[in-house]
Amino acid sequence: MSKVLMKGNEAMALAAIKAGVEAFYGYPITPQNELPEYMSKHMAEHDRVFVQSESEVAAINMVYGAAGAGARVMTSSSSPGIALKQEGISYIAGAELPAVIINVMRGGPGLGGIQPSQGDYKQITRGGGNGDYYLYSLAPESLQEAVDLIKEAFDIADYFRNPVMIAVDGLIGQMMEPVDFDHPVPKWDLPPKTWAADGNRKNGREKNIINSLYLDPAVLEQHNLKLKAKYDEMKRDHQRYEMINMESADIVIVAFGSTARIARTAVEILADNGIRCGIIRPIAIFPFPTNAFDEIPDHVKDILVVEMNTGQMVDDVRLADKCRRNIHFYGRVGGIVPEAEEIVEQVMTIVGGDN
Amino acid sequence: MINEKLIVAGFGGQGVMLMGQLLSYCATTRNINTLWFPSYGPETRGGTANCSVTISDAYVNSPVISTPDSIIIMNKPSLAKFQPKLKAGGNCFINSSLVVDIDFRDDVTLYKVPANELALELGNLKVANMVMLGAYLKVTGLFSNDEVLAVLKQKFTGAKAKLIDINKKALELGQQAVAS
Protein backbone atom coordinates (compact mmCIF):
# COMPACT_ATOMS: atom_id res chain seq x y z
CA MET A 1 0.00 0.00 0.00
CA SER A 2 1.15 3.54 -0.64
CA LYS A 3 2.30 5.66 2.26
CA VAL A 4 0.18 8.36 3.86
CA LEU A 5 1.52 11.53 5.45
CA MET A 6 0.27 11.78 9.01
CA LYS A 7 1.02 13.57 12.27
CA GLY A 8 2.62 11.32 14.88
CA ASN A 9 -0.23 11.44 17.38
CA GLU A 10 -2.80 10.63 14.69
CA ALA A 11 -0.66 7.88 13.16
CA MET A 12 -0.30 6.23 16.59
CA ALA A 13 -4.07 6.40 17.07
CA LEU A 14 -4.75 4.83 13.67
CA ALA A 15 -2.14 2.14 14.36
CA ALA A 16 -4.06 1.17 17.50
CA ILE A 17 -7.32 1.01 15.54
CA LYS A 18 -5.61 -1.20 12.94
CA ALA A 19 -4.34 -3.41 15.78
CA GLY A 20 -7.93 -3.95 16.88
CA VAL A 21 -8.14 -1.72 19.93
CA GLU A 22 -11.70 -2.04 21.23
CA ALA A 23 -11.74 0.75 23.81
CA PHE A 24 -9.85 4.00 24.40
CA TYR A 25 -10.04 6.08 27.55
CA GLY A 26 -8.16 9.36 27.85
CA TYR A 27 -7.96 12.87 29.18
CA PRO A 28 -6.49 15.83 27.26
CA ILE A 29 -2.93 17.07 27.74
CA THR A 30 -0.42 18.67 25.35
CA PRO A 31 1.52 17.43 23.37
CA GLN A 32 -0.62 14.31 22.72
CA ASN A 33 -4.06 15.89 22.21
CA GLU A 34 -4.38 14.89 18.56
CA LEU A 35 -4.34 11.24 19.65
CA PRO A 36 -7.57 11.25 21.71
CA GLU A 37 -9.02 13.77 19.24
CA TYR A 38 -8.46 11.27 16.41
CA MET A 39 -9.92 8.48 18.54
CA SER A 40 -13.00 10.57 19.42
CA LYS A 41 -13.81 10.80 15.71
CA HIS A 42 -12.79 7.39 14.45
CA MET A 43 -13.50 4.86 17.24
CA ALA A 44 -17.26 5.37 16.82
CA GLU A 45 -16.93 4.80 13.06
CA HIS A 46 -15.50 1.37 13.87
CA ASP A 47 -18.24 0.74 16.43
CA ARG A 48 -15.74 0.80 19.26
CA VAL A 49 -15.60 2.59 22.62
CA PHE A 50 -14.16 6.08 23.18
CA VAL A 51 -14.49 7.89 26.50
CA GLN A 52 -13.01 11.23 27.44
CA SER A 53 -12.97 10.66 31.17
CA GLU A 54 -13.13 13.23 33.98
CA SER A 55 -9.49 12.69 34.91
CA GLU A 56 -6.39 10.63 34.16
CA VAL A 57 -7.08 8.51 37.24
CA ALA A 58 -10.55 7.70 35.93
CA ALA A 59 -9.16 6.88 32.46
CA ILE A 60 -6.60 4.36 33.71
CA ASN A 61 -9.19 2.68 35.96
CA MET A 62 -11.52 2.37 32.96
CA VAL A 63 -8.59 0.71 31.18
CA TYR A 64 -8.26 -1.63 34.17
CA GLY A 65 -11.94 -2.56 33.97
CA ALA A 66 -12.06 -3.06 30.21
CA ALA A 67 -8.82 -5.06 30.23
CA GLY A 68 -10.25 -7.25 32.99
CA ALA A 69 -13.25 -7.97 30.77
CA GLY A 70 -10.86 -9.13 28.05
CA ALA A 71 -10.97 -6.11 25.71
CA ARG A 72 -8.01 -4.74 23.75
CA VAL A 73 -7.64 -1.39 25.46
CA MET A 74 -5.44 1.68 25.35
CA THR A 75 -4.90 5.05 26.98
CA SER A 76 -2.54 7.88 26.17
CA SER A 77 -1.25 10.91 28.00
CA SER A 78 1.84 13.02 28.55
CA SER A 79 4.25 13.02 31.48
CA PRO A 80 2.22 14.72 34.27
CA GLY A 81 -0.85 12.72 33.21
CA ILE A 82 1.13 9.47 33.12
CA ALA A 83 2.32 10.23 36.67
CA LEU A 84 -1.33 10.44 37.73
CA LYS A 85 -2.04 7.05 36.13
CA GLN A 86 0.67 5.18 38.06
CA GLU A 87 -1.64 3.76 40.74
CA GLY A 88 -3.85 2.22 38.06
CA ILE A 89 -0.91 0.93 36.05
CA SER A 90 0.42 -0.85 39.14
CA TYR A 91 -3.00 -2.47 39.71
CA ILE A 92 -3.17 -3.55 36.05
CA ALA A 93 0.28 -5.15 36.26
CA GLY A 94 -0.62 -6.71 39.63
CA ALA A 95 -3.84 -8.14 38.23
CA GLU A 96 -1.90 -9.41 35.17
CA LEU A 97 -3.91 -7.57 32.56
CA PRO A 98 -2.84 -6.50 29.07
CA ALA A 99 -3.08 -2.82 28.11
CA VAL A 100 -1.20 -0.36 25.93
CA ILE A 101 -0.24 3.02 27.37
CA ILE A 102 1.24 5.78 25.21
CA ASN A 103 3.36 8.46 26.89
CA VAL A 104 4.20 11.48 24.69
CA MET A 105 6.80 12.91 27.03
CA ARG A 106 7.14 16.62 27.87
CA GLY A 107 9.42 18.52 30.23
CA GLY A 108 9.09 18.06 34.01
CA PRO A 109 9.07 17.73 36.98
CA GLY A 110 5.59 18.79 38.06
CA LEU A 111 3.69 20.43 35.24
CA GLY A 112 7.07 21.25 33.66
CA GLY A 113 6.57 22.47 30.10
CA ILE A 114 4.98 21.26 26.89
CA GLN A 115 8.10 20.84 24.74
CA PRO A 116 9.80 17.47 24.02
CA SER A 117 11.58 15.56 26.79
CA GLN A 118 12.74 12.08 27.77
CA GLY A 119 12.48 12.89 31.45
CA ASP A 120 10.27 9.92 32.36
CA TYR A 121 12.95 7.30 31.56
CA LYS A 122 13.47 6.18 35.17
CA GLN A 123 9.74 6.11 35.91
CA ILE A 124 9.01 4.09 32.76
CA THR A 125 11.84 1.58 33.11
CA ARG A 126 11.37 0.96 36.87
CA GLY A 127 7.65 0.23 36.68
CA GLY A 128 6.44 3.61 37.89
CA GLY A 129 3.98 2.72 40.61
CA ASN A 130 4.26 0.71 43.83
CA GLY A 131 5.42 -2.87 44.06
CA ASP A 132 7.54 -5.27 42.04
CA TYR A 133 6.51 -4.89 38.42
CA TYR A 134 7.81 -3.59 35.12
CA LEU A 135 6.31 -2.45 31.84
CA TYR A 136 7.52 -3.76 28.51
CA SER A 137 8.55 -0.34 27.19
CA LEU A 138 9.18 0.59 23.58
CA ALA A 139 10.81 3.82 22.39
CA PRO A 140 10.40 4.26 18.59
CA GLU A 141 12.46 6.84 16.70
CA SER A 142 10.21 7.35 13.66
CA LEU A 143 6.50 7.29 12.84
CA GLN A 144 6.82 4.08 10.82
CA GLU A 145 8.51 2.40 13.76
CA ALA A 146 5.93 3.85 16.19
CA VAL A 147 3.08 2.48 14.07
CA ASP A 148 4.71 -0.94 13.70
CA LEU A 149 5.47 -1.20 17.42
CA ILE A 150 1.97 -0.11 18.47
CA LYS A 151 0.47 -2.76 16.18
CA GLU A 152 2.71 -5.34 17.85
CA ALA A 153 2.33 -3.87 21.37
CA PHE A 154 -1.19 -5.25 21.79
CA ASP A 155 0.10 -8.75 21.05
CA ILE A 156 3.01 -8.28 23.45
CA ALA A 157 0.63 -7.08 26.17
CA ASP A 158 -1.65 -10.08 25.59
CA TYR A 159 1.27 -12.52 25.53
CA PHE A 160 2.73 -11.34 28.84
CA ARG A 161 -0.61 -10.26 30.36
CA ASN A 162 1.21 -7.09 31.33
CA PRO A 163 0.94 -3.42 30.32
CA VAL A 164 3.11 -2.22 27.43
CA MET A 165 4.34 1.37 27.42
CA ILE A 166 5.02 3.24 24.18
CA ALA A 167 7.42 6.00 25.19
CA VAL A 168 7.90 8.83 22.70
CA ASP A 169 8.63 12.53 23.12
CA GLY A 170 6.69 15.57 21.93
CA LEU A 171 8.73 15.67 18.72
CA ILE A 172 7.37 12.31 17.58
CA GLY A 173 3.84 13.25 18.63
CA GLN A 174 3.89 16.49 16.64
CA MET A 175 5.95 15.60 13.54
CA MET A 176 4.54 14.38 10.22
CA GLU A 177 6.09 11.56 8.20
CA PRO A 178 4.85 9.18 5.51
CA VAL A 179 3.66 5.90 7.03
CA ASP A 180 2.76 2.54 5.52
CA PHE A 181 0.04 1.07 7.74
CA ASP A 182 0.20 -2.29 5.99
CA HIS A 183 3.88 -2.79 6.80
CA PRO A 184 3.94 -6.32 8.26
CA VAL A 185 4.77 -6.81 11.93
CA PRO A 186 5.44 -10.04 13.87
CA LYS A 187 2.32 -11.86 15.07
CA TRP A 188 2.60 -13.38 18.52
CA ASP A 189 1.11 -16.76 19.34
CA LEU A 190 -1.67 -15.87 21.78
CA PRO A 191 -3.78 -18.22 23.90
CA PRO A 192 -7.49 -17.40 24.34
CA LYS A 193 -8.28 -15.04 27.24
CA THR A 194 -9.77 -17.74 29.49
CA TRP A 195 -9.02 -15.54 32.50
CA ALA A 196 -11.28 -12.65 31.43
CA ALA A 197 -14.13 -11.59 33.71
CA ASP A 198 -16.47 -11.34 30.76
CA GLY A 199 -19.60 -12.73 32.41
CA ASN A 200 -19.68 -15.67 30.05
CA ARG A 201 -20.11 -18.70 32.32
CA LYS A 202 -22.42 -20.76 30.11
CA ASN A 203 -19.81 -23.48 29.86
CA GLY A 204 -19.95 -23.88 33.64
CA ARG A 205 -16.47 -22.50 34.32
CA GLU A 206 -15.50 -21.10 37.71
CA LYS A 207 -15.78 -17.34 38.34
CA ASN A 208 -12.91 -15.34 36.92
CA ILE A 209 -11.74 -12.79 39.48
CA ILE A 210 -9.61 -9.77 38.60
CA ASN A 211 -7.66 -8.76 41.66
CA SER A 212 -4.30 -7.49 42.89
CA LEU A 213 -4.93 -8.01 46.63
CA TYR A 214 -3.26 -11.02 48.27
CA LEU A 215 -3.44 -10.80 52.07
CA ASP A 216 -1.61 -14.09 52.67
CA PRO A 217 2.12 -13.31 52.35
CA ALA A 218 2.89 -16.83 51.17
CA VAL A 219 0.37 -16.49 48.32
CA LEU A 220 1.57 -12.96 47.43
CA GLU A 221 5.15 -14.18 47.37
CA GLN A 222 4.22 -16.84 44.81
CA HIS A 223 2.38 -14.18 42.80
CA ASN A 224 5.44 -11.88 42.92
CA LEU A 225 7.68 -14.71 41.76
CA LYS A 226 5.28 -15.48 38.91
CA LEU A 227 5.46 -11.85 37.82
CA LYS A 228 9.24 -11.88 38.13
CA ALA A 229 9.42 -14.87 35.80
CA LYS A 230 7.68 -12.76 33.13
CA TYR A 231 10.15 -9.91 33.54
CA ASP A 232 13.03 -12.37 33.46
CA GLU A 233 11.68 -13.76 30.19
CA MET A 234 11.47 -10.22 28.75
CA LYS A 235 15.09 -9.57 29.74
CA ARG A 236 16.31 -12.93 28.44
CA ASP A 237 14.40 -13.25 25.15
CA HIS A 238 12.92 -9.91 24.18
CA GLN A 239 15.60 -7.22 24.21
CA ARG A 240 15.29 -4.96 21.17
CA TYR A 241 17.96 -2.67 19.83
CA GLU A 242 19.66 -1.46 16.69
CA MET A 243 23.43 -1.34 16.19
CA ILE A 244 24.37 1.46 13.80
CA ASN A 245 27.78 1.76 12.18
CA MET A 246 29.23 -0.46 14.90
CA GLU A 247 31.85 -2.62 13.11
CA SER A 248 34.08 0.33 12.29
CA ALA A 249 33.34 2.38 15.41
CA ASP A 250 36.02 3.95 17.58
CA ILE A 251 33.50 5.53 19.94
CA VAL A 252 29.86 4.67 20.65
CA ILE A 253 26.79 6.80 21.35
CA VAL A 254 23.81 5.33 23.23
CA ALA A 255 20.55 7.14 22.50
CA PHE A 256 16.86 6.26 22.07
CA GLY A 257 13.85 7.85 20.35
CA SER A 258 14.29 11.18 18.55
CA THR A 259 17.64 11.66 20.25
CA ALA A 260 18.93 8.59 18.39
CA ARG A 261 17.86 10.19 15.12
CA ILE A 262 19.75 13.37 15.95
CA ALA A 263 22.73 11.17 16.86
CA ARG A 264 22.53 9.63 13.36
CA THR A 265 23.12 13.09 11.87
CA ALA A 266 25.97 13.65 14.33
CA VAL A 267 27.56 10.37 13.19
CA GLU A 268 27.43 11.56 9.56
CA ILE A 269 29.11 14.86 10.45
CA LEU A 270 31.74 12.99 12.48
CA ALA A 271 32.43 10.66 9.54
CA ASP A 272 33.11 13.74 7.38
CA ASN A 273 35.68 14.71 10.01
CA GLY A 274 37.34 11.28 10.00
CA ILE A 275 35.84 10.07 13.28
CA ARG A 276 34.17 6.66 13.23
CA CYS A 277 31.26 6.69 15.65
CA GLY A 278 28.66 3.96 16.22
CA ILE A 279 25.25 4.06 17.88
CA ILE A 280 23.48 1.62 20.18
CA ARG A 281 19.80 2.49 19.82
CA PRO A 282 17.62 0.83 22.46
CA ILE A 283 14.23 0.13 20.82
CA ALA A 284 12.95 -1.42 24.05
CA ILE A 285 14.12 0.62 27.07
CA PHE A 286 12.71 -2.10 29.35
CA PRO A 287 14.15 -4.69 29.05
CA PHE A 288 17.36 -2.70 28.55
CA PRO A 289 19.50 -4.05 25.67
CA THR A 290 22.37 -5.37 27.79
CA ASN A 291 23.33 -7.82 25.00
CA ALA A 292 24.24 -4.91 22.71
CA PHE A 293 27.17 -3.97 24.92
CA ASP A 294 28.81 -7.35 24.35
CA GLU A 295 28.83 -6.59 20.61
CA ILE A 296 30.84 -3.36 20.87
CA PRO A 297 34.32 -3.78 19.32
CA ASP A 298 37.02 -4.36 21.97
CA HIS A 299 39.08 -1.30 21.03
CA VAL A 300 36.23 1.11 21.86
CA LYS A 301 37.10 2.82 25.13
CA ASP A 302 34.39 5.48 25.37
CA ILE A 303 30.60 5.55 25.39
CA LEU A 304 28.61 8.78 25.18
CA VAL A 305 25.03 8.64 26.45
CA VAL A 306 22.79 11.32 24.91
CA GLU A 307 19.31 12.00 26.25
CA MET A 308 16.73 14.75 26.68
CA ASN A 309 17.07 14.50 30.47
CA THR A 310 19.88 14.86 33.01
CA GLY A 311 21.30 11.37 32.55
CA GLN A 312 18.62 8.92 33.61
CA MET A 313 19.83 6.11 31.29
CA VAL A 314 23.48 6.37 32.39
CA ASP A 315 23.05 3.86 35.26
CA ASP A 316 21.62 1.25 32.88
CA VAL A 317 24.50 1.80 30.45
CA ARG A 318 27.07 1.40 33.26
CA LEU A 319 25.45 -1.85 34.41
CA ALA A 320 25.22 -3.22 30.87
CA ASP A 321 28.78 -2.21 30.03
CA LYS A 322 30.12 -3.79 33.24
CA CYS A 323 32.78 -1.10 33.74
CA ARG A 324 34.56 -1.99 30.50
CA ARG A 325 34.59 1.58 29.14
CA ASN A 326 34.45 5.23 30.16
CA ILE A 327 30.85 6.45 30.27
CA HIS A 328 30.21 10.08 29.31
CA PHE A 329 26.91 11.93 29.22
CA TYR A 330 25.40 14.80 27.28
CA GLY A 331 21.81 15.98 27.68
CA ARG A 332 19.49 18.90 27.07
CA VAL A 333 16.49 19.45 29.32
CA GLY A 334 13.50 21.68 29.84
CA GLY A 335 12.11 21.01 26.36
CA ILE A 336 15.30 21.98 24.51
CA VAL A 337 16.13 19.47 21.77
CA PRO A 338 19.89 18.93 21.26
CA GLU A 339 21.29 19.75 17.83
CA ALA A 340 23.56 17.28 16.04
CA GLU A 341 26.44 19.78 16.22
CA GLU A 342 26.32 19.73 20.02
CA ILE A 343 26.70 15.95 20.03
CA VAL A 344 29.57 16.24 17.51
CA GLU A 345 31.35 18.68 19.82
CA GLN A 346 31.01 16.28 22.76
CA VAL A 347 32.42 13.37 20.74
CA MET A 348 35.27 15.56 19.46
CA THR A 349 36.15 16.51 23.03
CA ILE A 350 36.19 12.88 24.15
CA VAL A 351 38.18 11.63 21.15
CA GLY A 352 40.67 14.48 21.20
CA GLY A 353 40.67 14.99 24.94
CA ASP A 354 42.70 13.50 27.74
CA ASN A 355 39.84 11.85 29.61
CA MET B 1 19.84 12.98 -5.09
CA ILE B 2 17.37 15.14 -3.16
CA ASN B 3 18.33 16.27 0.33
CA GLU B 4 16.61 19.56 1.10
CA LYS B 5 16.26 21.06 4.57
CA LEU B 6 13.91 24.03 4.78
CA ILE B 7 12.61 26.24 7.58
CA VAL B 8 9.45 28.31 6.98
CA ALA B 9 8.72 31.07 9.50
CA GLY B 10 6.27 33.91 10.00
CA PHE B 11 3.31 35.14 12.05
CA GLY B 12 0.64 32.66 13.14
CA GLY B 13 -2.06 32.94 10.47
CA GLN B 14 0.25 33.52 7.50
CA GLY B 15 -0.02 29.89 6.49
CA VAL B 16 3.56 28.86 7.21
CA MET B 17 2.53 25.43 8.51
CA LEU B 18 0.53 24.73 5.33
CA MET B 19 3.47 25.72 3.09
CA GLY B 20 5.66 23.13 4.77
CA GLN B 21 2.94 20.50 4.80
CA LEU B 22 2.24 20.92 1.09
CA LEU B 23 5.88 20.14 0.36
CA SER B 24 5.73 17.04 2.57
CA TYR B 25 2.51 15.90 0.88
CA CYS B 26 4.14 16.34 -2.55
CA ALA B 27 7.14 14.30 -1.39
CA THR B 28 4.88 11.56 0.00
CA THR B 29 2.99 11.36 -3.31
CA ARG B 30 6.31 10.83 -5.08
CA ASN B 31 7.36 8.28 -2.43
CA ILE B 32 10.29 10.41 -1.29
CA ASN B 33 11.15 10.50 2.43
CA THR B 34 10.02 13.60 4.24
CA LEU B 35 9.63 14.91 7.78
CA TRP B 36 7.63 17.98 8.86
CA PHE B 37 7.95 19.37 12.34
CA PRO B 38 6.07 22.43 13.65
CA SER B 39 6.79 24.80 16.45
CA TYR B 40 3.96 24.05 18.84
CA GLY B 41 2.60 25.72 21.95
CA PRO B 42 1.75 29.29 22.92
CA GLU B 43 4.04 30.83 20.28
CA THR B 44 1.67 29.71 17.51
CA ARG B 45 -1.18 31.78 18.95
CA GLY B 46 -0.43 35.22 17.57
CA GLY B 47 3.33 35.07 17.90
CA THR B 48 5.84 33.64 15.48
CA ALA B 49 5.26 30.20 14.06
CA ASN B 50 7.67 28.03 12.12
CA CYS B 51 8.04 24.57 10.69
CA SER B 52 10.96 22.49 9.50
CA VAL B 53 10.69 20.33 6.40
CA THR B 54 13.21 17.74 5.28
CA ILE B 55 12.81 16.12 1.87
CA SER B 56 15.30 13.37 1.16
CA ASP B 57 15.90 10.29 -0.96
CA ALA B 58 17.64 8.78 2.06
CA TYR B 59 16.09 8.10 5.48
CA VAL B 60 15.61 11.38 7.34
CA ASN B 61 17.90 11.46 10.34
CA SER B 62 17.56 14.43 12.70
CA PRO B 63 13.96 15.70 12.85
CA VAL B 64 15.28 19.12 13.88
CA ILE B 65 17.22 21.23 11.40
CA SER B 66 20.21 23.13 12.74
CA THR B 67 21.57 24.35 9.37
CA PRO B 68 18.83 24.75 6.75
CA ASP B 69 19.58 24.78 3.00
CA SER B 70 16.75 27.27 2.48
CA ILE B 71 14.61 29.55 4.64
CA ILE B 72 11.31 31.21 3.77
CA ILE B 73 10.85 34.32 5.91
CA MET B 74 7.35 35.77 6.06
CA ASN B 75 7.90 38.49 8.71
CA LYS B 76 10.65 40.54 10.32
CA PRO B 77 11.11 38.71 13.67
CA SER B 78 11.61 35.42 11.79
CA LEU B 79 14.56 36.82 9.84
CA ALA B 80 16.44 37.68 13.03
CA LYS B 81 15.78 34.19 14.35
CA PHE B 82 16.61 32.08 11.30
CA GLN B 83 18.98 34.03 9.04
CA PRO B 84 22.00 33.18 11.24
CA LYS B 85 21.22 29.45 10.90
CA LEU B 86 21.06 29.39 7.10
CA LYS B 87 23.98 27.53 5.56
CA ALA B 88 26.53 29.54 3.60
CA GLY B 89 25.41 29.65 -0.03
CA GLY B 90 21.83 28.79 0.97
CA ASN B 91 18.60 30.27 -0.37
CA CYS B 92 16.90 33.06 1.61
CA PHE B 93 13.34 33.80 0.47
CA ILE B 94 12.07 37.06 1.91
CA ASN B 95 8.53 38.41 2.00
CA SER B 96 9.73 41.89 1.08
CA SER B 97 6.29 43.37 1.76
CA LEU B 98 6.91 42.99 5.48
CA VAL B 99 10.67 42.56 5.82
CA VAL B 100 12.30 45.90 4.99
CA ASP B 101 15.27 47.94 6.19
CA ILE B 102 17.24 44.94 7.39
CA ASP B 103 20.81 43.81 6.91
CA PHE B 104 20.93 40.65 4.89
CA ARG B 105 23.82 38.22 4.90
CA ASP B 106 26.02 38.56 1.82
CA ASP B 107 27.03 34.87 1.68
CA VAL B 108 23.57 33.59 0.79
CA THR B 109 21.32 33.98 -2.27
CA LEU B 110 18.53 36.42 -1.54
CA TYR B 111 15.11 36.26 -3.23
CA LYS B 112 12.92 39.24 -2.37
CA VAL B 113 9.26 38.58 -3.15
CA PRO B 114 6.59 41.21 -2.37
CA ALA B 115 4.20 38.42 -1.42
CA ASN B 116 1.55 40.54 0.31
CA GLU B 117 1.28 42.99 -2.62
CA LEU B 118 1.13 40.17 -5.15
CA ALA B 119 -1.53 38.37 -3.10
CA LEU B 120 -3.58 41.57 -2.88
CA GLU B 121 -3.35 41.89 -6.67
CA LEU B 122 -5.27 38.62 -6.71
CA GLY B 123 -7.71 40.03 -4.18
CA ASN B 124 -6.86 37.78 -1.20
CA LEU B 125 -3.99 38.43 1.23
CA LYS B 126 -4.25 34.85 2.48
CA VAL B 127 -2.53 33.48 -0.63
CA ALA B 128 0.71 35.34 0.17
CA ASN B 129 2.06 31.98 1.39
CA MET B 130 1.35 30.40 -2.00
CA VAL B 131 3.15 33.27 -3.75
CA MET B 132 6.22 32.53 -1.62
CA LEU B 133 5.86 28.80 -2.25
CA GLY B 134 5.75 29.49 -6.00
CA ALA B 135 9.01 31.43 -5.76
CA TYR B 136 10.60 28.66 -3.69
CA LEU B 137 9.56 25.95 -6.15
CA LYS B 138 10.78 27.96 -9.14
CA VAL B 139 14.26 28.31 -7.61
CA THR B 140 14.62 24.80 -6.16
CA GLY B 141 12.71 22.94 -8.87
CA LEU B 142 11.58 20.40 -6.26
CA PHE B 143 7.96 20.00 -7.36
CA SER B 144 5.78 21.22 -10.22
CA ASN B 145 2.70 23.39 -9.81
CA ASP B 146 0.60 20.43 -10.87
CA GLU B 147 1.96 18.35 -8.01
CA VAL B 148 1.10 21.08 -5.49
CA LEU B 149 -2.33 21.62 -7.02
CA ALA B 150 -3.04 17.88 -6.92
CA VAL B 151 -2.50 18.00 -3.16
CA LEU B 152 -4.65 21.12 -2.80
CA LYS B 153 -7.45 19.44 -4.74
CA GLN B 154 -7.51 16.69 -2.11
CA LYS B 155 -7.55 19.25 0.73
CA PHE B 156 -9.95 21.80 -0.78
CA THR B 157 -13.21 20.00 -1.44
CA GLY B 158 -16.82 21.17 -1.41
CA ALA B 159 -17.19 24.92 -0.82
CA LYS B 160 -13.42 25.34 -0.71
CA ALA B 161 -12.92 23.92 -4.21
CA LYS B 162 -13.32 27.39 -5.72
CA LEU B 163 -10.06 28.42 -3.96
CA ILE B 164 -7.94 26.18 -6.20
CA ASP B 165 -7.84 28.73 -9.00
CA ILE B 166 -6.56 31.67 -6.92
CA ASN B 167 -3.92 29.40 -5.34
CA LYS B 168 -2.76 28.39 -8.82
CA LYS B 169 -2.47 32.04 -9.84
CA ALA B 170 -0.58 32.82 -6.61
CA LEU B 171 1.97 30.07 -7.33
CA GLU B 172 2.47 31.50 -10.83
CA LEU B 173 2.90 35.08 -9.57
CA GLY B 174 5.55 33.88 -7.14
CA GLN B 175 7.36 32.07 -9.93
CA GLN B 176 7.32 35.17 -12.12
CA ALA B 177 8.68 37.26 -9.24
CA VAL B 178 11.94 35.29 -9.18
CA ALA B 179 12.09 34.50 -12.91
CA SER B 180 14.19 37.47 -13.98
Condensed to tens digits (0 to 9), the pLDDT of residues A54-67 reads 999 999 999 999 99
Quick check: ipTM above 0.85?
Answer: yes
Residues forming beta bridges with residue B93, ordered by sequence position: B72, B111
Question: What's the pLDDT score for residue B180?
Answer: 66
Q: Using CA atoms, how far apart are residues B179 and A54, in angstroms rounded to an integer?
A: 57
Residue A109 falls inside a structural domain? yes
Q: Dump pLDDT digits (tens) for A129-168.
A: 999 999 999 999 999 999 999 999 999 999 999 999 999 9
Q: What is the DSSP string of B9-23?
A: EEETTS-HHHHHHHH
Nearest CA to CA, how far is B108 from chain A (Å)? 21
Q: Dump pLDDT digits (tens) for A316-350.
A: 999 999 999 999 999 999 999 999 999 999 999 99
Name the 3-class secondary structure at B162.
Answer: helix
Residue A218 falls inside a structural domain? no
Please give the single-letter amino acid code of residue A5. Answer: L
Assess whether A191 and A258 both reside in one domain: no
Which residues from B are below 8 Å from A114, CB to CB? 40-41
Name the 3-class secondary structure at A234.
Answer: helix
Residue A202 falls inside a structural domain? no
Mean pLDDT of A240-251: 96
B168: how many CB neighbours lie within 10 A of its CB?
18
- The angle that helices B164-177 and B145-155 make with each other, rounded to 10 degrees, is 150
Which residues from A are below 8 Å from B62, CB to CB? 261-262, 264-265, 339-340
Assess whether A28 and A140 both reside in one domain: yes
Considering CB atoms only, which of A2, A174, A265 is closest to B62? A265
* Cross-chain residue pair B63–A258, CB shorter than 8 Å: yes
Count of domains observed in chain A: 2
Assess whether A161 and A259 both reside in one domain: no
Output the average pLDDT for chain A.
96
**Per-residue pLDDT at A23 exceeds 50:** yes
Question: What's the pTM?
Answer: 0.96
Question: What's the pLDDT score for residue A222?
Answer: 98
* Cross-chain residue pair B34–A177, CB shorter than 8 Å: yes
**Per-residue pLDDT at A355 exceeds 60:** no
* Cross-chain residue pair A262–B63, CB shorter than 8 Å: yes
Among residues A237, A265, A286, which one ends one of the domains?
A: A237
Which residues from B are below 8 Å from A271, CB to CB? none
Nearest CA to CA, how far is B53 from chain A (Å)? 9
Assess whether A170 and A105 both reside in one domain: yes
**Per-residue pLDDT at A290 exceeds 70:** yes
Which residues from A are below 8 Å from B33, CB to CB? 177-178
Assess whether A19 and A65 both reside in one domain: yes
Model confidence at A253, pLDDT cuts 50, 70, 90, reads very high
Which residues from A are below 8 Å from B67, CB to CB? 341
Cα dihedral sign for A223, A229, A232, A233? negative
**Per-residue pLDDT at A286 exceeds 60:** yes
Q: Which domain holds residue B21?
A: 3-177
Spatial neighbors of B42 by CB under 8 A, at least 6 apart, are none
Assess whether A254 and A232 both reside in one domain: no
Q: Dump pLDDT digits (tens) for A96-138.
A: 999 999 999 999 999 999 999 999 999 999 999 999 999 999 9
Count of domains observed in chain B: 1
**Per-residue pLDDT at A225 exceeds 60:** yes
Assess whether A308 and A169 both reside in one domain: no
Residue A141 falls inside a structural domain? yes
Question: What's the pLDDT score for residue A353?
Answer: 61
Residue A49 falls inside a structural domain? yes
Assess whether A288 and A274 both reside in one domain: yes
Residue A23 falls inside a structural domain? yes
* Bond prior to B68 in cis (omega within 30° of 0): no
Assess whether A192 and A88 both reside in one domain: yes
Assess whether A47 and A143 both reside in one domain: yes
Residues forming beta bridges with residue B94, ordered by sequence position: B73, B112
Mean pLDDT of A85-95: 98
CATH of the domain at B105: 3.40.920.10
Among residues A186, A206, A237, which one ends one of the domains?
A: A237
Nearest CA to CA, how far is B171 from chain A (Å)? 23
Considering CB atoms only, which of A4, A171, A178 is closest to B37? A171
* Cross-chain residue pair A114–B40, CB shorter than 8 Å: yes
- Is the CB of A337 inside 8 Å of chain B's CB atoms? yes
Residue A215 falls inside a structural domain? no
**A314 touches A329 (CB < 8 A):** yes
- Is the CB of A261 inside 8 Å of chain B's CB atoms? yes
Model confidence at A201, pLDDT cuts 50, 70, 90, reads confident
Which residues from A are below 8 Å from B31, CB to CB? 2-3, 178
CATH of the domain at A264: 3.40.50.920
Q: Using CA atoms, how far apart are residues A34 and A55, in angstroms rounded to an integer?
A: 17
Residue A331 falls inside a structural domain? yes
Question: Best residue in B52, B59, B66, B69 to probe A by mutation, most A CBs within 10 Å?
Answer: B66
Q: Which domain holds residue A108?
A: 4-196+225-237
Long-range CB contacts for residues B123-129, cutoff 8 Å, separation at least 24: B123/B166, B124/B166, B126/B15, B127/B166, B127/B167, B127/B169, B127/B170, B128/B14, B128/B15, B128/B74, B128/B95, B128/B97, B128/B170, B129/B10, B129/B14, B129/B15, B129/B16, B129/B18, B129/B19, B129/B74
CATH of the domain at A138: 3.40.50.970
Question: What's the pLDDT score for residue B45?
Answer: 57
Residue of B nearest to A178 (CA): B28
Assess whether A63 and A188 both reside in one domain: yes
Which residues from A are below 8 Å from B27, CB to CB? 178
Highest mean pLDDT among A42-51, A197-206, B45-54, B155-164: A42-51
Considering CB atoms only, which of B61, B63, B66 is closest to A175? B63
Looking only at the bridges linking them, the beta strands covering B33-38 and B70-73 are unpaired
Assess whether A149 and A263 both reside in one domain: no
Residue A126 DSSP label: T
Q: Per-residue pLDDT tens, chain B, 180 aa: give them.
A: 899 999 999 998 899 999 999 999 999 999 999 999 998 776 555 678 999 999 999 999 999 999 999 999 999 999 999 999 999 999 999 999 999 978 899 999 999 999 999 999 999 999 999 999 999 999 999 999 999 999 999 999 999 999 999 999 999 999 999 986
